[in-house]
Structure 1
Amino acid sequence: MNTIQPRKLSDIPISVLDLVPVLAGKTPADSFHNSLNLAQQAERLGYKRYWMAEHHNMVGIASSATAVLIGYIAGGTSTIRVGSGGIMLPNHAPLVIAEQFGTLASLYPDRIDLGLGRAPGSDQLTAMALRRSLQGSVNDFPENVEELLTYFSIENSTSPVRAIPGEGLNIPIWILGSSTFGAQLAGILGLPYAFASHFAPTYLHAALQVYRESFRPSESLKEPYVMVAANAIVADTEDEAHLLATSLYASFLNVIRGKSQPLQPPVENLEDSWNDSEEYSVYHMLRYTFIGNPQQVKENLQAFLDSTQANELILSSPIYDHAARVRSYQLISEMQRTAETVKYESAI
C-alpha cells in the first residue's frame, strides 16, 4: 500500500482543461483564437499543462481534431506542457496516434502529453462514421494501449511496423477515466491516472483507491501519480461568479436533454429553465464545481484536495465571456500563490 502525504493547494501543480467551447454567436475559429490566448495567459501564470479533449458531432465543442489543436497551441506557447485530455483511442488505430504524437513531440520536445480515454466521445452513429466499423469495442482498450506503448518503445526498432516519428521519444502516456476500469489499467501498467470528476463524480474515490492499490512501478513512473479534474469559476465577487456559472449549468442541462447547443451567455435566473429532476441531475454531474470569490474557491479546492490527496489538479472554467474566463484562471493562480508552503515538484 502506498503512503499518501497530505498536501496543500499551494504544494501541487495546477493545470488547465479546455473543452474549446463554441460560443453562441461565434465560430469555431473564434474558439481557437480564444484557446491560444488562454494558453498563453496560463503559461504566463505558471500553470503546469494545457489539455484539450476529443469530442465529435457537438456544435458546442470545437476540439474534434485534437492533435491539430495541440500543435496550434504548442506552436503559440513556449514552456507550458500541451496535451490531450484525452484522445479517445477506440476511434483511432494506435499507429496513427503514435505517428501524430510522435510528430508533435518532435516539433515540441518534452512538452507533449498523451492522455487516453476508452469512450468514443460521440454517439454511436458518429463513432461508426469515424471508424467505418464498430467491430472493435471499448473492451479492446487495454490491448490498444499496449500496442501504442510498443510503437513508442525503442525496442520496436526491429519490428516490421514502426512509428516514424514516435519511436523512442519521451511522450508521457496517461490513462483517463470516470470509473474503476481505467484506474486498474493505469495502476497495472504503472502509468499516471487522471479522473474526469468535472462531469462524472460518482466513482472518483473508488477509482483513486483502485489505482493506488493496483499500482506497479514502471520505467516511466515509480509511484502513483493522480490528477483530478474539477470545474472552477472564480470572479472578484461571489454574485458575479454564480452569474457566470449559469452558462455551465445550461450546457449540462442540454446534455441530459440530448440537445446540442453552443455555450450560451449567462442568465440571471435558471429556475424557469429546468424541473426538479433536471436540476438534481445537473447538480449531481457538477458536484465538483467550485464557484465563488477567490477565498471561497480556495477553501473548497483545498477540501477537494484533502479528500482526494491528488498530486495535481486540472481545472475547467467554462465561461462565456473570454475576458472573464481568463480572469478566473488569473484569480486561481493568485490565490494559490498566497499560501505559505514549499512548492511541490511534479514527477511527470
Structure 2
Amino acid sequence: MSQPDAVAQLEHLVHRFVSNGVPLADVEQIRSDLTDWSSWNQAWQRSGDARMAEAEAADRAGAHQTAAELRLVAALEFHFGKFLFVHDVVALRRGTERAAGAYRRALVRLPWPGRVLDVPYRDRTLPGVFRTPAAGGPAPTVLLVPGLDAAKEELHLLSEVFLRRGMATMVVDGPGQGESEFDLPLTAEWEEVAEAVLDVLRGRHEVDRARVGVVGVSLGGHYAARTAARADGIRAGVSLGGCYSMGESWPHLKHLSRDAFRVRTRSSDMDAASAEADRFTLASAPARGGVPFLVVHGERDRLFDTEQAERMAKHFGPDGELTLEPDGNHVLHNIGYRIRPAAADWLRARLDG
C-alpha cells in the first residue's frame, strides 16, 4: 500500500483543524513542512512544541491565561499529529501523552475551567473532562462523544457552544479513543460506556439528572444514537455527521480511516476489521421511544452518505428529525459556525421541554 499524500490529507481536513482551534497560520506552516506521510507527525509536533515554548514564556511573564490558551493549541496540534498515525505506536503514544498533558495544564485557566473526572469502566478508568457553566445550581448536562480518530482534547471548543447556553459538558476518551486506546479497543456497544459515565454524573451536584443529553461527531454520532436509543437517563440527542452502519459505510472509507479502525478494534487484518465494522449498526440497538433525536448531516460528506443519515433519523420513528445541509462536509466542519449553535439550541430546548 502506497503512503497517503500528506499535503492532500491536510487540505482535505483543514476545516476540521481550524474549526476545532488550530490557527490557520499554523496549518499553513505545517503544510510547508510536509514532504511525505512520514513527515506528518514531526511537522505537527514541531508546531505544538513552538506553542508550548510560547506558553512557558507567557507563564514567566505572569500571563497565565495566555499560557493556557497556547497550551490548548499545542494539545490540539499534538493530537492531530498522531490521530491517524496508527502505524507508528511510539509516535502515537507519545503524541497522546503530550496532547493530554498540555490539555490538563490548560484546563484550569481557561474559561469554564475543566476538571479531570475519571469514569470507572469494567476494570479500567476512562479519562474524562467535566465543565460547568457559570450559573450556580444543577444544570442541564451534555455528554459529548468523540469519533474514530478524535479525542476529548478535540471537543474543547464544541463544549463551549453548550456552556455558553448554560449547559454543563462531559467528554471522555472512550474505549479505543485518546488516552484509552492503549488499554481498550473500540466497542460497538457504546451505550454501556454511556451508562458508566451517567453513573458518575448522577453523583455530581452540578448536574440536573432529569436533563441530560448526548451529542456525538462522526462515529461518535453513531454512538450518540445508540446511547439515546438504549441508555437510561438520556432525554435527547444529536448526531453531527454520524452513520447508521459502519459496515455499510466501509467501502466509502479511505485507507487511513480503515487502518485506524483496524488498529483501534484490535483486528488482525483488514478483512477482520471489515467484519468487525458490521457490528457497529443501529439495527442492534432498537429505540425505546420518547427520546427526541436530531440528525444533522452534510450532503458533501465523503465518509457517510445521506442514506446513512436518513436511516438514523428513521430509527427513532416519530422522535427522529433530519437536517441535511447541501454545502456541509463530514461533521459539517466547514459550516460549524452556524451548525453547532443551532444544534445546541435544539438540544437545550428539548432538555428544558
> TM range, normalised to the smaller chain?
0.3 to 0.5
TM-score normalised to structure 1 length? 0.36
Which structure has the highest helix share of the two?
Answer: 2
Bigger RCO of structures 1 and 2 (CA < 8 A, at least 6 apart): 1
TM-score normalised to structure 2 length? 0.36
